[in-house]
Structure 1
Amino acid sequence: MDLHLSARRALVTGSTSGLGEATVRMLAAEGAAVVVHGRNAERARAIADELIAAGGRASVAVGDLSTDAGADAVAEAALAGGPVDILVNNAGAYEHLDWSEATPAAWATTYDQNVISGVRMIQRLVPAMRERGWGRVITIGGGLGGQPMNTHPQYNATLAARHNLAVSLARELKGTGVTSNVVAPGAILVPAVEKLLTGIAGERGWGDSWDEIEVNSVRELVPNDANRFGRPDEIAGAVAYLCGPLADYISGASLRVDGGTVRSVQ
């Protein structure tokens, strides 16, 4: 399917690894000109070069979005190649803390990294989208925003805030041709997750092969209708769909990509 992205430019924040990297690669494959963002210039440049070598169009923006100066630098670099039509707010940070470890300072830092960072980019890029009468803002959220666990409360809360701000933005952009939506991943198999699960599989009795470990760990930790972890490309595919004109009639929505996960509240 042609998602009609060849005339568009997209900035994907936090796109040097994980879901952001999968997304920037898919958007480039769909014909969009992409801006690879990260805090590591060497890694961002390597990904951009790979995309260019494969026939894509890519540039780089480097900066720490948890500061105004960093956001200014990223916006300037992203706009140097032309208008940005699509903003994918993916960048964020995660730290596994329990309630006793999650100090007020940790809450404030996580909120700045995961919520205000996205606001900074919205305020720098969306006004021009509104003026042109077309644009997309995709916020990467997560199921923990609505079904939080008892651990890492500071992170759960930022996901809820990301969902909330995306809907508020959609209301603000009513009738402008610019939409705002959320893609909410479930448990996704990235290298760090696979490494963690493989490392604890023996003590949990999950088996020896990855096929056994995946089925058993999903059953115990994140039961879902698909009986597996999601893959990064499945998140990227949802983002790519929302970026194109086929999704013109979708705004203020949250697209769950979680295998039908239903988490028991603890």
Structure 2
Amino acid sequence: MKIDLSGKTALVTGSTAGIGFATAKGLALAGARVILNGRKADSVSKAADALRAAVPGAQVGTFTGDLATPEAVDALLVQQPSVDVLVNNLGIFGPQDFFETPDSEWTRLFETNVMSGVRLSRAYAPGMVQRKWGRIVFVSSESGLNIPADMIHYGFSKTAQLAVSRGLAKRLAGTGVTVNAVLPGPTLSEGVEAMLAEEVKRTGKPVGEVAAEFVKAHRSSSIIQRAATVDEVANMIVYACSPQASATTGAALRVDGGVVDTIA
């Protein structure tokens, strides 16, 4: 299968590292013009340089700003009023006990993980409808189905993304615009590596081995018994953004290594 997104513009939020950067690279390899996003100018610049090095000849745009805020979204729309592919990847996480999680933290995760995608989808979908083609992908998580006891506020935000993506897919029925959610499981991104850094230092084991042990201990239903790579997750996202995925919409596409124990 050859995915060709030549002539299309793709925005990937939160794309200076991890799943976001891997997705941006995959879309660029498919020929799309890719807009990278991050909160810090230096990280955005480094990511743009890395993408150009990884994909010679890639068309790369950038936007620096925290898209969890309406002000940054407004500024982005001035700079980039139209996109064909929107990957709502921006997200934050972190374990915190339910009884120690203040209102402000619930609001912070909701604004970042949910409302950033809501605002951008509301802004960009009408243009896609007018052009009779578009792709919107929300990067959710298996935690949206399998709510973690130590990150209930995170699981809540990821479930909310599933509700928005499914509902928006119905709202855009018959327009040529598809809306899907991709649900990674434990993934060896820079964020997860940072979370495991203390255990890596303590044991002297490679980070991949420590990640596999974490999966076996905390996601024991995993069938692959290891963390996925960011490229493995990006492959599913890129497919959902492709012309070939025209009959896939309103779906929750799991790249969780089989963590969610269901046949549906």
1:137/1:179 contact within 8 Å kept? yes
Mean Cα deviation higher: 250-259 or 222-231: 222-231
Q: 1:208 to 1:92 in 2, by over 3 A?
A: closer
The equivalent residue for 1:94 is 93
Q: Report whether the alignment pairs 1:247 with 2:236.
A: no
Distance 1:132 1:107 in 2: 37
The equivalent residue for 1:76 is 78
Distance 2:10 2:58 in 1: 13
Q: 1:97 to 1:126 in 2, by over 3 A?
A: same
1:170/1:252 contact within 8 Å kept? yes
1:19/1:232 contact within 8 Å kept? yes
1:207/1:213 contact within 8 Å kept? no
Distance 2:230 2:206 in 1: 21
Distance 2:35 2:232 in 1: 20
Measure how far apart 1:69 and its partner are.
1.3
Q: 1:92 to 1:217 in 2, by over 3 A?
A: closer
The equivalent residue for 2:132 is 133
The equivalent residue for 1:197 is 196
In structure 1, the gaps of 5 or more residues are none
The equivalences for 1:14-163 within 5 A come to 14-53=14-53, 54-79=56-81, 83-163=82-162
Measure how far apart 1:218 and its partner are.
2.3
Q: 1:13 to 1:196 in 2, by over 3 A?
A: closer
TM-score calculated relative to the size of structure 2: 0.91
Q: Report whether the alignment pairs 1:233 with 2:231.
A: yes
Measure how far apart 1:261 and its partner are.
0.7
Distance 1:94 1:210 in 2: 19
1:190/1:231 contact within 8 Å kept? yes
Specify the code of the residue in structure 2 equivalent to 1:63.
G
Give the share of equivalent positions with the same residue, in percent: 36
TM-score calculated relative to the size of structure 1: 0.90
Aligned length: 258
Mean Cα deviation higher: 117-126 or 214-223: 214-223
Measure how far apart 1:194 and its partner are.
3.1
Note the alpha carbon deviations across 1:136-164, whole angstroms, 9 max, x for none: 00000001111101112111100000011
2:144/2:162 contact within 8 Å kept? yes
Q: 1:225 to 1:105 in 2, by over 3 A?
A: same
Note the alpha carbon deviations across 1:183-240, whole angstroms, 9 max, x for none: 000000123423443532687xx88455643443322122211121000001111011
In structure 2, the gaps of 5 or more residues are none
1:65/1:120 contact within 8 Å kept? no
